[in-house]
Structure 1
Amino acid sequence: MAINFRKGIDSSLDGVTKLVFGAAWDRKAAKQSGFARKLALKSGGKINLGGGQKDIDLDLALILYRDGEPKRIVIGHNMDPVHGAAVHSGDNQTGEGDGDDETITLNLTSLPAWVTEWAVAVFAYKLGTNFDQAQNVSLNVYDASNQGSAVLLDELMPTLGAGATASIIASGKINRDATGNPIDGWTTTLVDKAGRLGSQGDDTAVLAFAKQNAGI
Protein backbone atom coordinates (compact mmCIF):
# COMPACT_ATOMS: atom_id res chain seq x y z
CA MET A 1 0.00 0.00 0.00
CA ALA A 2 1.09 3.61 -0.51
CA ILE A 3 1.98 5.62 2.56
CA ASN A 4 2.43 9.34 2.12
CA PHE A 5 5.24 10.52 4.40
CA ARG A 6 4.67 14.27 4.33
CA LYS A 7 4.85 16.82 7.11
CA GLY A 8 1.46 17.63 8.60
CA ILE A 9 -0.33 14.86 6.68
CA ASP A 10 -1.62 11.78 8.48
CA SER A 11 -1.30 8.71 6.26
CA SER A 12 -3.38 5.64 7.03
CA LEU A 13 -1.69 2.38 8.03
CA ASP A 14 -4.84 0.32 7.42
CA GLY A 15 -3.81 -3.19 6.42
CA VAL A 16 -0.32 -2.79 7.91
CA THR A 17 0.22 -4.89 11.01
CA LYS A 18 4.02 -4.84 11.24
CA LEU A 19 6.53 -2.13 10.39
CA VAL A 20 10.31 -2.37 10.28
CA PHE A 21 12.41 0.77 10.63
CA GLY A 22 15.99 0.53 9.38
CA ALA A 23 18.51 3.27 10.14
CA ALA A 24 21.60 3.54 7.97
CA TRP A 25 24.59 5.84 8.08
CA ASP A 26 28.12 5.93 6.72
CA ARG A 27 31.38 6.73 8.42
CA LYS A 28 32.80 10.07 7.37
CA ALA A 29 36.37 10.32 6.18
CA ALA A 30 38.58 12.33 8.50
CA LYS A 31 40.47 15.23 6.90
CA GLN A 32 44.22 15.09 6.48
CA SER A 33 46.37 18.09 7.24
CA GLY A 34 48.32 19.64 4.40
CA PHE A 35 51.56 18.36 5.91
CA ALA A 36 50.16 14.81 6.08
CA ARG A 37 49.07 14.90 2.44
CA LYS A 38 52.47 16.11 1.30
CA LEU A 39 54.22 13.44 3.37
CA ALA A 40 51.99 10.71 1.92
CA LEU A 41 52.71 11.90 -1.63
CA LYS A 42 56.44 12.19 -1.02
CA SER A 43 56.64 8.69 0.45
CA GLY A 44 54.40 7.13 -2.17
CA GLY A 45 51.80 6.36 0.48
CA LYS A 46 54.20 4.49 2.74
CA ILE A 47 53.79 7.17 5.40
CA ASN A 48 50.17 8.11 5.89
CA LEU A 49 49.19 10.26 8.85
CA GLY A 50 45.53 10.92 9.59
CA GLY A 51 42.66 10.67 7.18
CA GLY A 52 40.70 7.49 6.58
CA GLN A 53 37.29 6.65 7.96
CA LYS A 54 36.33 7.00 11.60
CA ASP A 55 33.66 4.86 13.27
CA ILE A 56 30.52 6.68 14.44
CA ASP A 57 27.95 5.29 16.85
CA LEU A 58 24.44 6.54 16.04
CA ASP A 59 21.36 5.04 17.66
CA LEU A 60 17.96 4.17 16.23
CA ALA A 61 15.18 4.48 18.80
CA LEU A 62 11.42 4.12 19.08
CA ILE A 63 9.61 6.09 21.76
CA LEU A 64 6.23 4.80 22.98
CA TYR A 65 3.69 7.29 24.34
CA ARG A 66 0.58 7.16 26.47
CA ASP A 67 -1.82 10.04 25.75
CA GLY A 68 0.98 12.29 24.55
CA GLU A 69 3.44 11.40 27.32
CA PRO A 70 6.57 9.43 26.32
CA LYS A 71 6.90 6.37 28.56
CA ARG A 72 9.25 3.78 27.04
CA ILE A 73 12.31 3.77 24.79
CA VAL A 74 13.23 0.93 22.43
CA ILE A 75 16.96 1.39 21.79
CA GLY A 76 20.15 -0.65 21.59
CA HIS A 77 20.60 -0.83 25.37
CA ASN A 78 16.87 -1.49 25.96
CA MET A 79 15.98 -3.80 23.10
CA ASP A 80 12.63 -5.31 24.12
CA PRO A 81 10.79 -3.27 26.77
CA VAL A 82 7.26 -4.28 25.70
CA HIS A 83 7.70 -8.04 25.39
CA GLY A 84 8.09 -8.59 21.67
CA ALA A 85 5.82 -5.83 20.36
CA ALA A 86 8.73 -3.53 19.49
CA VAL A 87 12.19 -5.09 19.24
CA HIS A 88 15.58 -3.51 18.49
CA SER A 89 18.18 -5.47 16.51
CA GLY A 90 21.11 -4.31 18.67
CA ASP A 91 23.62 -1.49 18.84
CA ASN A 92 25.84 -0.91 15.79
CA GLN A 93 28.73 1.21 17.04
CA THR A 94 30.59 1.83 13.78
CA GLY A 95 28.26 2.52 10.82
CA GLU A 96 30.39 0.10 8.82
CA GLY A 97 28.85 -2.08 6.10
CA ASP A 98 26.04 -1.86 3.57
CA GLY A 99 22.31 -1.82 4.24
CA ASP A 100 20.55 -1.01 7.49
CA ASP A 101 22.89 -0.62 10.46
CA GLU A 102 20.14 -0.94 13.09
CA THR A 103 16.49 -1.99 12.83
CA ILE A 104 13.38 -1.90 15.00
CA THR A 105 10.45 -4.22 14.30
CA LEU A 106 7.13 -2.75 15.43
CA ASN A 107 4.14 -5.10 15.64
CA LEU A 108 1.17 -2.74 15.73
CA THR A 109 -1.28 -5.47 16.72
CA SER A 110 0.79 -6.57 19.73
CA LEU A 111 1.40 -3.20 21.35
CA PRO A 112 0.01 -2.80 24.88
CA ALA A 113 -3.34 -1.01 25.05
CA TRP A 114 -1.74 1.97 26.82
CA VAL A 115 0.34 2.84 23.73
CA THR A 116 -1.52 5.60 21.88
CA GLU A 117 1.37 7.13 19.93
CA TRP A 118 4.92 6.35 18.90
CA ALA A 119 7.84 8.21 17.35
CA VAL A 120 10.88 6.82 15.56
CA ALA A 121 14.13 8.73 15.96
CA VAL A 122 17.88 8.66 15.44
CA PHE A 123 20.18 9.92 18.19
CA ALA A 124 23.85 10.54 18.73
CA TYR A 125 23.37 9.08 22.19
CA LYS A 126 27.01 8.56 23.13
CA LEU A 127 28.75 11.48 24.83
CA GLY A 128 30.92 13.45 22.42
CA THR A 129 29.21 12.27 19.20
CA ASN A 130 27.02 14.24 16.82
CA PHE A 131 25.56 13.94 13.35
CA ASP A 132 28.43 15.92 11.81
CA GLN A 133 30.60 12.82 12.27
CA ALA A 134 28.38 10.73 9.95
CA GLN A 135 27.08 11.02 6.42
CA ASN A 136 24.17 9.62 4.37
CA VAL A 137 21.92 9.22 7.42
CA SER A 138 18.61 7.69 6.36
CA LEU A 139 15.62 5.75 7.66
CA ASN A 140 14.06 2.98 5.58
CA VAL A 141 10.46 2.07 6.42
CA TYR A 142 9.26 -1.43 5.49
CA ASP A 143 5.89 -3.19 5.54
CA ALA A 144 6.54 -6.60 7.09
CA SER A 145 2.89 -7.57 7.54
CA ASN A 146 3.08 -10.57 5.23
CA GLN A 147 5.35 -13.56 5.51
CA GLY A 148 8.42 -13.41 3.34
CA SER A 149 10.45 -10.38 2.39
CA ALA A 150 9.54 -7.00 3.82
CA VAL A 151 8.40 -4.39 1.29
CA LEU A 152 10.19 -1.03 1.27
CA LEU A 153 7.61 1.75 1.70
CA ASP A 154 9.91 4.76 1.70
CA GLU A 155 13.43 5.97 2.38
CA LEU A 156 13.33 9.02 4.63
CA MET A 157 16.24 11.46 4.60
CA PRO A 158 16.15 13.53 7.80
CA THR A 159 17.25 17.16 7.87
CA LEU A 160 20.15 17.33 10.34
CA GLY A 161 21.43 20.66 11.61
CA ALA A 162 25.07 21.37 12.43
CA GLY A 163 26.04 19.86 15.78
CA ALA A 164 22.67 18.12 16.16
CA THR A 165 22.45 15.02 18.33
CA ALA A 166 18.77 14.11 17.96
CA SER A 167 16.21 13.79 15.16
CA ILE A 168 12.57 12.72 15.38
CA ILE A 169 11.86 11.37 11.90
CA ALA A 170 8.27 10.06 11.91
CA SER A 171 5.43 9.40 14.31
CA GLY A 172 2.24 7.36 14.56
CA LYS A 173 -1.01 7.62 16.52
CA ILE A 174 -4.22 5.78 17.18
CA ASN A 175 -7.52 6.63 18.85
CA ARG A 176 -8.78 4.20 21.51
CA ASP A 177 -11.93 4.00 23.58
CA ALA A 178 -12.03 3.92 27.38
CA THR A 179 -11.33 0.16 27.43
CA GLY A 180 -8.30 0.45 25.18
CA ASN A 181 -9.88 -0.84 21.98
CA PRO A 182 -8.92 0.98 18.77
CA ILE A 183 -11.57 3.34 17.41
CA ASP A 184 -9.65 4.15 14.22
CA GLY A 185 -6.62 2.52 12.65
CA TRP A 186 -3.07 3.70 13.04
CA THR A 187 -1.85 6.68 11.03
CA THR A 188 1.68 7.96 10.49
CA THR A 189 3.23 11.27 9.54
CA LEU A 190 6.65 12.73 8.77
CA VAL A 191 8.10 14.87 11.58
CA ASP A 192 11.72 15.58 10.50
CA LYS A 193 12.69 17.65 13.54
CA ALA A 194 16.33 17.80 14.64
CA GLY A 195 18.04 19.39 17.62
CA ARG A 196 20.23 18.60 20.58
CA LEU A 197 19.73 16.33 23.55
CA GLY A 198 19.82 18.08 26.90
CA SER A 199 22.47 15.56 27.93
CA GLN A 200 23.91 12.58 26.07
CA GLY A 201 23.87 9.06 27.45
CA ASP A 202 20.68 9.81 29.37
CA ASP A 203 17.33 8.16 28.65
CA THR A 204 15.52 10.94 30.51
CA ALA A 205 16.96 13.45 28.02
CA VAL A 206 15.73 11.28 25.13
CA LEU A 207 12.20 11.25 26.58
CA ALA A 208 12.31 15.02 27.11
CA PHE A 209 13.43 15.65 23.52
CA ALA A 210 10.69 13.34 22.22
CA LYS A 211 8.04 15.15 24.26
CA GLN A 212 9.11 18.56 23.00
CA ASN A 213 9.76 17.78 19.34
CA ALA A 214 7.60 14.91 18.07
CA GLY A 215 4.45 16.99 17.67
CA ILE A 216 2.43 14.49 19.71
Structure 2
Amino acid sequence: MTISLAKGQRIDLTKTNPGLTRVVVGLGWDTNKYSGGVDFDLDASAFLLYEDGKAKGTDDFVFYNNPSGGAGSVTHTGDNRTGEGDGDDEQVVVDFSKIPAHIHRIGITVTIYDGDGRGQNFGQVSNAFVRVVDAASDREVLRFDLGEDYSTETAVVFCEFYRAGADWKFQAVGSGFTGGLSALCKNYGLDAQ
Protein backbone atom coordinates (compact mmCIF):
# COMPACT_ATOMS: atom_id res chain seq x y z
CA MET A 1 0.00 0.00 0.00
CA THR A 2 1.31 3.42 -0.99
CA ILE A 3 1.66 6.07 1.71
CA SER A 4 0.58 9.55 0.57
CA LEU A 5 2.40 12.42 2.24
CA ALA A 6 1.60 16.10 2.63
CA LYS A 7 4.09 18.95 2.43
CA GLY A 8 6.48 18.89 5.39
CA GLN A 9 5.74 15.30 6.39
CA ARG A 10 8.59 12.88 7.07
CA ILE A 11 8.73 9.11 7.05
CA ASP A 12 11.24 6.46 8.07
CA LEU A 13 11.92 4.99 4.67
CA THR A 14 14.39 2.14 5.21
CA LYS A 15 13.34 1.32 8.78
CA THR A 16 9.68 0.81 7.82
CA ASN A 17 10.65 -1.06 4.64
CA PRO A 18 13.26 -3.65 5.72
CA GLY A 19 15.54 -4.70 2.88
CA LEU A 20 14.88 -1.52 0.89
CA THR A 21 18.25 -0.54 -0.55
CA ARG A 22 17.53 0.74 -4.05
CA VAL A 23 14.67 3.03 -5.08
CA VAL A 24 13.43 4.65 -8.24
CA VAL A 25 12.32 8.22 -7.63
CA GLY A 26 9.69 8.95 -10.26
CA LEU A 27 8.76 12.57 -10.97
CA GLY A 28 5.80 13.59 -13.07
CA TRP A 29 3.75 16.59 -14.10
CA ASP A 30 1.26 17.95 -16.62
CA THR A 31 1.32 21.37 -18.19
CA ASN A 32 -1.82 23.44 -18.18
CA LYS A 33 -3.31 24.39 -21.52
CA TYR A 34 -0.86 27.07 -22.46
CA SER A 35 -0.23 28.40 -25.94
CA GLY A 36 3.20 29.94 -25.56
CA GLY A 37 4.38 28.14 -28.67
CA VAL A 38 7.15 26.29 -26.81
CA ASP A 39 7.01 22.94 -24.99
CA PHE A 40 7.70 22.87 -21.29
CA ASP A 41 11.00 21.13 -20.61
CA LEU A 42 11.11 20.21 -16.93
CA ASP A 43 14.29 18.67 -15.62
CA ALA A 44 14.84 16.53 -12.54
CA SER A 45 18.10 16.82 -10.61
CA ALA A 46 19.60 15.40 -7.43
CA PHE A 47 21.92 17.30 -5.10
CA LEU A 48 24.10 15.13 -2.85
CA LEU A 49 24.74 17.10 0.31
CA TYR A 50 27.35 16.99 3.04
CA GLU A 51 26.56 17.40 6.73
CA ASP A 52 26.48 21.19 6.30
CA GLY A 53 23.64 20.87 3.75
CA LYS A 54 25.86 21.85 0.81
CA ALA A 55 27.13 20.09 -2.30
CA LYS A 56 30.87 20.45 -2.88
CA GLY A 57 31.42 19.68 -6.57
CA THR A 58 30.14 18.27 -9.84
CA ASP A 59 29.99 14.69 -8.50
CA ASP A 60 27.40 15.96 -6.01
CA PHE A 61 25.04 17.26 -8.74
CA VAL A 62 23.23 14.63 -10.82
CA PHE A 63 21.15 15.64 -13.85
CA TYR A 64 20.73 14.71 -17.53
CA ASN A 65 24.22 16.01 -18.49
CA ASN A 66 25.92 14.44 -15.44
CA PRO A 67 23.83 11.27 -15.06
CA SER A 68 25.71 9.64 -12.19
CA GLY A 69 27.16 10.85 -8.90
CA GLY A 70 28.08 9.85 -5.39
CA ALA A 71 30.30 6.97 -6.53
CA GLY A 72 27.46 5.64 -8.69
CA SER A 73 24.89 5.70 -5.88
CA VAL A 74 22.58 8.19 -7.66
CA THR A 75 21.72 7.91 -11.35
CA HIS A 76 19.53 10.03 -13.64
CA THR A 77 17.83 7.84 -16.26
CA GLY A 78 17.44 10.46 -19.01
CA ASP A 79 15.88 13.73 -20.11
CA ASN A 80 12.21 13.93 -21.11
CA ARG A 81 11.85 17.20 -23.00
CA THR A 82 8.06 17.42 -23.25
CA GLY A 83 6.51 15.61 -20.28
CA GLU A 84 4.03 13.93 -22.63
CA GLY A 85 2.29 10.73 -21.62
CA ASP A 86 1.23 9.15 -18.36
CA GLY A 87 3.37 8.03 -15.47
CA ASP A 88 6.84 9.23 -14.55
CA ASP A 89 8.29 11.94 -16.77
CA GLU A 90 11.81 11.57 -15.37
CA GLN A 91 13.43 9.18 -12.91
CA VAL A 92 16.37 9.20 -10.53
CA VAL A 93 17.64 5.91 -9.10
CA VAL A 94 19.10 5.97 -5.57
CA ASP A 95 21.08 3.04 -4.14
CA PHE A 96 21.29 3.68 -0.38
CA SER A 97 23.88 0.90 0.04
CA LYS A 98 26.35 2.76 -2.21
CA ILE A 99 25.98 6.32 -0.90
CA PRO A 100 29.34 7.58 0.39
CA ALA A 101 29.50 8.11 4.17
CA HIS A 102 30.10 11.87 3.75
CA ILE A 103 26.72 12.36 2.01
CA HIS A 104 24.01 13.06 4.60
CA ARG A 105 21.13 14.33 2.47
CA ILE A 106 19.91 14.10 -1.13
CA GLY A 107 17.69 16.86 -2.51
CA ILE A 108 15.45 15.89 -5.43
CA THR A 109 14.49 18.93 -7.50
CA VAL A 110 12.71 19.89 -10.71
CA THR A 111 13.42 23.01 -12.77
CA ILE A 112 11.85 24.50 -15.89
CA TYR A 113 14.51 24.74 -18.57
CA ASP A 114 14.82 28.42 -19.60
CA GLY A 115 11.62 29.13 -17.66
CA ASP A 116 12.37 32.84 -17.32
CA GLY A 117 13.27 33.21 -20.99
CA ARG A 118 10.18 31.32 -22.14
CA GLY A 119 7.82 33.03 -19.69
CA GLN A 120 7.04 29.69 -18.02
CA ASN A 121 6.65 28.90 -14.33
CA PHE A 122 5.25 26.24 -12.02
CA GLY A 123 1.93 28.12 -11.90
CA GLN A 124 1.40 26.63 -15.39
CA VAL A 125 2.22 23.10 -14.20
CA SER A 126 -0.36 20.81 -12.61
CA ASN A 127 -0.55 17.29 -11.17
CA ALA A 128 3.12 17.41 -10.14
CA PHE A 129 4.20 14.45 -8.02
CA VAL A 130 7.14 12.49 -6.72
CA ARG A 131 6.87 8.80 -5.95
CA VAL A 132 9.35 6.37 -4.46
CA VAL A 133 9.34 2.83 -5.84
CA ASP A 134 11.23 -0.19 -4.48
CA ALA A 135 13.49 -1.07 -7.43
CA ALA A 136 13.58 -4.76 -6.47
CA SER A 137 9.81 -5.34 -6.34
CA ASP A 138 8.48 -2.39 -8.41
CA ARG A 139 6.19 -1.59 -5.44
CA GLU A 140 5.30 2.06 -4.92
CA VAL A 141 6.30 2.84 -1.33
CA LEU A 142 5.20 6.47 -1.06
CA ARG A 143 3.89 9.40 -3.03
CA PHE A 144 3.83 13.16 -2.57
CA ASP A 145 1.51 15.24 -4.77
CA LEU A 146 2.69 18.84 -4.82
CA GLY A 147 -0.82 20.25 -5.15
CA GLU A 148 0.31 23.80 -4.34
CA ASP A 149 0.11 26.75 -6.67
CA TYR A 150 3.52 28.14 -7.51
CA SER A 151 2.74 31.36 -9.38
CA THR A 152 6.24 32.62 -10.25
CA GLU A 153 8.62 29.81 -9.31
CA THR A 154 10.79 28.14 -11.95
CA ALA A 155 12.36 25.54 -9.63
CA VAL A 156 11.00 23.32 -6.85
CA VAL A 157 12.67 21.09 -4.28
CA PHE A 158 10.23 18.16 -4.37
CA CYS A 159 11.72 16.07 -1.56
CA GLU A 160 14.83 15.13 0.37
CA PHE A 161 16.24 11.85 1.61
CA TYR A 162 18.33 12.16 4.76
CA ARG A 163 20.38 9.93 7.06
CA ALA A 164 19.21 8.99 10.54
CA GLY A 165 21.94 6.75 11.90
CA ALA A 166 22.07 3.68 9.65
CA ASP A 167 18.64 4.42 8.16
CA TRP A 168 17.33 6.81 5.52
CA LYS A 169 14.26 8.98 5.91
CA PHE A 170 12.14 10.88 3.37
CA GLN A 171 10.80 14.42 3.71
CA ALA A 172 8.14 15.93 1.43
CA VAL A 173 9.53 19.45 0.89
CA GLY A 174 7.64 21.29 -1.88
CA SER A 175 9.73 24.47 -1.65
CA GLY A 176 9.68 26.79 -4.67
CA PHE A 177 12.41 29.10 -6.01
CA THR A 178 12.48 31.86 -8.57
CA GLY A 179 15.63 31.98 -10.68
CA GLY A 180 15.53 28.37 -11.92
CA LEU A 181 18.51 26.06 -11.73
CA SER A 182 20.90 28.86 -10.81
CA ALA A 183 18.89 29.63 -7.65
CA LEU A 184 18.80 25.96 -6.68
CA CYS A 185 22.54 25.54 -7.19
CA LYS A 186 23.21 28.60 -5.05
CA ASN A 187 20.88 27.25 -2.34
CA TYR A 188 22.83 23.99 -2.29
CA GLY A 189 26.29 25.60 -2.37
CA LEU A 190 27.22 25.27 -6.05
CA ASP A 191 28.08 28.00 -8.54
CA ALA A 192 25.96 27.49 -11.68
CA GLN A 193 27.83 29.20 -14.49
TM-score (norm 1): 0.70
What letter matches 2:138 in structure 1?
S
Deviation at 1:110, TM superposition (A): 1.0
1:151 corresponds to: 140
**What CA deviation, in whole Å up to 9, does each residue of 1:159-192 have, x standing for no partner?**
24212111112112114xxxxxxx3411121211
2:40 to 44, 56, 76: 56
How far apart are residue 88 of structure 1 and its match?
0.6
Any unmatched runs of 5+ in structure 1?
32-50, 176-182, 212-216
Counterpart contact for 1:159–1:193, Cα < 8 Å: no
Q: Tell me, yes or no, if structure 1 residue 172 matches structure 2 residue 150.
A: no
Counterparts of 1:7 and 1:132, CA distance in 2: 16
1:136 aligned to 2:126?
A: yes
Match of 2:80 among 60, 79, 92: 92
In 2, distance between residues paired with 1:58 and 1:143? 21
Higher normalized contact order (CA 8 Å, seq sep 6+, divided by chain length):
2
Q: 1:64 to 1:19 in 2, by over 3 A?
A: same
**Tell me, what secondary structure is at the counterpart of 2:98?**
coil
Alignment size in residue pairs: 179
Confirm whether residue 19 of structure 1 aligns to residue 23 of structure 2: yes
Contact 2:48/2:107 (CA < 8 Å) preserved in 1?
yes
- Name the larger-Rg structure: 1
User: Of 194, 203, 208, which aligns to 2:186?
Assistant: 208
Considering only aligned residues, what root-mean-square deviation do their CA atoms show, in Å?
Answer: 2.7
Conserved 8 A contact 1:23-1:140: yes
Displacement after TM superposition at 1:65 (Å): 0.3
Measured after TM superposition, the shift of residue 66 of structure 1 is 0.3
How far did residue 140 of structure 1 move? 3.1
Counterpart secondary structure, 1:69 = coil
% identical aligned pairs: 25
Q: Cα offset for 1:56? A: 0.7
How far residue 28 of structure 1 moved from its aligned partner, in angstroms, is 3.5
| Match of residue 37 from structure 1 | none
Structure 2 runs not aligned, ≥5 long: none
Higher alpha-carbon deviation: 161-170 or 124-133:
124-133
Matched to 1:77, the amino acid is: N
Q: Which residue of 2 aligns with 1:101?
A: 89
Superposed CA deviations along residues 38-84 of structure 1, whole A, max 9, x for unmatched, are xxxxxxxxxxxxx8x74110111111100121232211121112343
- What residue in structure 2 maps to residue 65 of structure 1? 49
Deviates more, 1:107-116 or 1:6-15: 6-15
TM-score by length of 2: 0.78
Question: Once superposed, which parts of structure 1, at least 4 consecutive aligned residues long, lie more than 6 Å away?
Answer: none
* Correspondence for 1:43: none
Q: What SS does the corresponding residue of 2:184 show, helix, strand or coil?
A: helix
